[in-house]
Amino acid sequence: MNISVVIPLLNEEESLPELFSWIEKVMTEHQFSYEVIAVDDGSKDDSWKVIQALSKQNPNIKGIQFQRNYGKSAALQVGFEAAQGDVVITMDADLQDSPDEIPELYKMITVDGYHLVSGWKKKRYDPITKTVPTKLFNAATRYVSGINNLHDFNCGLKAYQKKVVKSIEVYGEMHRYIPVIAKWAGFDKITEKAVQHQERKYGKTKFGLERFVNGFLDLMSITFVGRYGKRPMHIFGTLGVLSFFFGILILIYLTITKTIFGVVGMTNRPIFYLGILTIIVGAQLFVAGFLGELIARNGADRNHYSIGEKINL
Ligand code: UDP
Ligand code: MG
């Protein structure tokens, strides 16, 4: 099978018929063998009924229904697990992403050999409250991830080699950082393609302003987990030891000034409290690192590595 199109959706009943027939048209025109995996993320409207009806007409349309709303990341993850195509393309269900991009994305993965191609909504049809924070968010993500050639990390339209989606795990609200997760897993041939973006035709956006707060917190955890998740002691231990010895030095200095130079009133000096504080904080950081290390040791994925190929095995 050439292509799996994974579509996470929440209450998008009006868009689905148009979206699916558009995808079908593009696929038949280019003679791709394909499947569409619609993941209904706990819709309260008739989205699931629409999917049922459409899948009767076209056996390439497959559906997975969540019993309740788990979020876009969960929907993508389940779609990734089910996908069988050589190239996996994700797309929002709200018709903001155009299926006409599929052939070019497919070519970039199969011919140009990219691991991941991310859409770039070069000209956006979204309100300014969304576009300005998004710029900041993308700049921060570029900076910490080192993926400097992406303008738009969170575009719903992306294409992947199959092995990429099979080796990464998306959860929580980590769908915003799939390129970062992919890079940590060793898939670093990442590029972008400027894509057409439409205004939302039906329904309304499912994410409010909290997306930016959550987004930045997630960015911090993902960076931390990526760098130190398997070796927490290296960061906490280093900081802890530095802080601890800094405090010791201060106290040695104070002791010398008192015993040798006879300065009185050591406990009234601000630096005395700084010395005590950094020793305590240092010891705590060290313990945090040690506990983190014990937890990492017991983590179910402690020996989970992203394997490229194997020979004779
Ligand atoms: N979506 C989802 N689960 C959620 C929220 C959103 O599956 O909890 C889907 C939604 O139906 C759409 C896609 O994720 O297909 C992107 O959502 P939306 O268009 O609301 O986001 P925006 O374009 O405003 O960033
Ligand atoms: Mg949208």
Q: Where are the domains of the chain?
A: 3-229, 232-294
pLDDT of residue 157: 97
The candidate with the shortest Cα–Cα distance to 120, out of 231, 194, 228, is 194
Q: How far is the CA of 200 from the centre of ligand 2 (A)?
A: 6
Looking at ligand 1, which residue's alpha carbon is closest to its atom 22? 205
Looking at ligand 1, which residue's alpha carbon is closest to its atom 24? 205
pTM over 0.85: yes
Give the position, in ligand 1's atom list, of the atom nearest the Cα of 206: 20
Using a 10 angstrom Cβ sphere, with 0-12 exposed, 13-18 middle and 19 or more buried, the burial of residue 156 is buried
pLDDT of residue 252: 96
pLDDT of residue 34: 97
- Cα 47 to Cα 13, 54, 77: the distances in Å are 4, 11, 19
Q: Is the CB of 73 under 6 A from ligand 1?
A: no
pLDDT of residue 225: 87
Mind giving me the DSSP string for 234-273?
A: HHHHHHHHHHHHHHHHHHHHHHHHHHTT----GGGSHHHH
pLDDT of residue 119: 96
Looking at ligand 1, which residue's alpha carbon is closest to its atom 19? 205
What ligand is nearest to the CA atom of residue 200? Answer: 2
Q: Is the CB of 71 under 6 A from ligand 1?
A: yes
- Among 7, 10, 170, 176, residue to substitute to test ligand 1 (most atoms within 8 Å of Cβ): 10
Q: How far is the CA of 1 from the centre of ligand 2 (A)?
A: 28
Q: Is the CB of 212 under 6 A from ligand 1?
A: no
Beta-carbon contacts of residue 224 (< 8 Å; ≥ 6 apart): 235
pLDDT of residue 310: 86
State the pairing for strand pair 87-90/158-161. Answer: antiparallel
Q: Is the CB of 69 under 6 A from ligand 1?
A: yes
What ligand is nearest to the CA atom of residue 92? Answer: 1
Q: Is the CB of 231 under 6 A from ligand 1?
A: no
Q: Does domain 3-229 have CATH number 3.20.20.450?
A: no
- Cα 96 to Cα 48, 101, 260: the distances in Å are 20, 12, 75
Say if CB 16 and CB 50 are below 8 A apart. Answer: yes
Residuewise pLDDT in 10s, the chain (313 residues)? 999 999 999 999 999 999 999 999 999 999 999 999 999 999 999 999 999 999 999 999 999 999 999 999 999 999 999 999 999 999 999 999 999 999 999 999 999 999 999 999 998 888 888 888 889 999 999 999 999 999 999 999 999 999 999 999 999 899 999 999 999 999 999 999 999 998 888 998 888 888 888 888 999 999 898 889 889 999 999 999 999 999 999 999 999 999 999 988 888 899 999 999 999 999 999 999 999 999 989 988 788 888 878 898 9
Looking at ligand 1, which residue's alpha carbon is closest to its atom 23? 205
- Among 77, 92, 212, residue to substitute to test ligand 1 (most atoms within 8 Å of Cβ): 92
Q: How far is the CA of 198 from the centre of ligand 1 (A)?
A: 14
Q: How far is the CA of 199 from the centre of ligand 2 (A)?
A: 8
Map residue 313 onto helix, strand or coil: coil
Q: How far is the CA of 114 from the centre of ligand 2 (A)?
A: 25
